[in-house]
Amino acid sequence: MDLAKALKLYVIPDRNIGAPLSLKEQTIRSVKGGATAVQLRDKKMSGKGLYEEAVKMAEFCRGQEVLFIVNDRVDIALGSGAMGIHVGQSDIPCHAVRRLVPSDFIVGVTVRTPEQALKAQEEGADYIGAGALFPTGTKKDTELIGLNDFSRIVEAVRIPVVAIGGIEKNNVSLAFQNGASGIAAVSSIFAENDITNAAAKMFFLCSR
């Protein structure tokens, strides 16, 4: 797998933002528009509910040859047939994840500094999520790192870096100009009435 290519348009369906559509339906529509990776992230769903959702989303994504990642929950990722796991700085550390998952399992880590990025790479991360790059409504208390610090993170590591936080059509080019391999999108796709069209427009901008 060309991981950098697979991370180009990394979408995160949301039960609130994308309501009334299910997470799977949001996934289907965004992939139809060009999403190359999908992350299941839901802090409030029960373990059983999250697992059942993950199984459905993993099956669909595998059929479409789209990367499917589960946030935080290593058990759900392994049990559902997901292709990878994404963890933050307050989750189980990357080195511990690596001991639990198969060698070909994709592991991503969220970072805010070059030092955190280097540590993640040394512990076996396959890619980095860096941000928040711009103001975002999905995590209102998140501090911004800005484009300069994002560039420093990109320069610090050899693995792909995904720009996260507030990415939308008017700033997506800035992320790629500063070295991003891909961008993570939530509201800019799932808050739109036509998710497929929104994803298609974002994919076009990611490919310029």
Q: What is the mean pLDDT of the chain?
A: 95
CATH number of the domain where residue 144 is located = 3.20.20.70
Check whether 140 has a pLDDT greater than 70: no
Q: Domain limits at 169? A: 3-206
Domains held by the chain: number? 1
The answer to whether 113 touches 149, Cβ cutoff 8 Å, is yes
Check whether 203 has a pLDDT greater than 90: yes
DSSP 9: E
Read off the pLDDT of each residue in 120-128 and give the average, rounded to a whole number: 98
pLDDT digits (tens, 9 = 90+) for 95-112: 999 999 999 999 999 999
User: Could you tell me the pLDDT band of residue 131, with boundaries at 50, 70 and 90?
Assistant: very high
**3-class SS of residue 187:** helix
pLDDT digits (tens, 9 = 90+) for 80-90: 999 999 999 99
Query: What's the rounded Cα separation, in Å, for the pair 47 and 135?
Result: 30
Q: At what angle do helices 195-206 and 23-33 cross, to 10 degrees?
A: 50
Q: Is 167 exposed, middle or buried (0-12, 13-18, 19+ CB in 10 A)?
A: buried
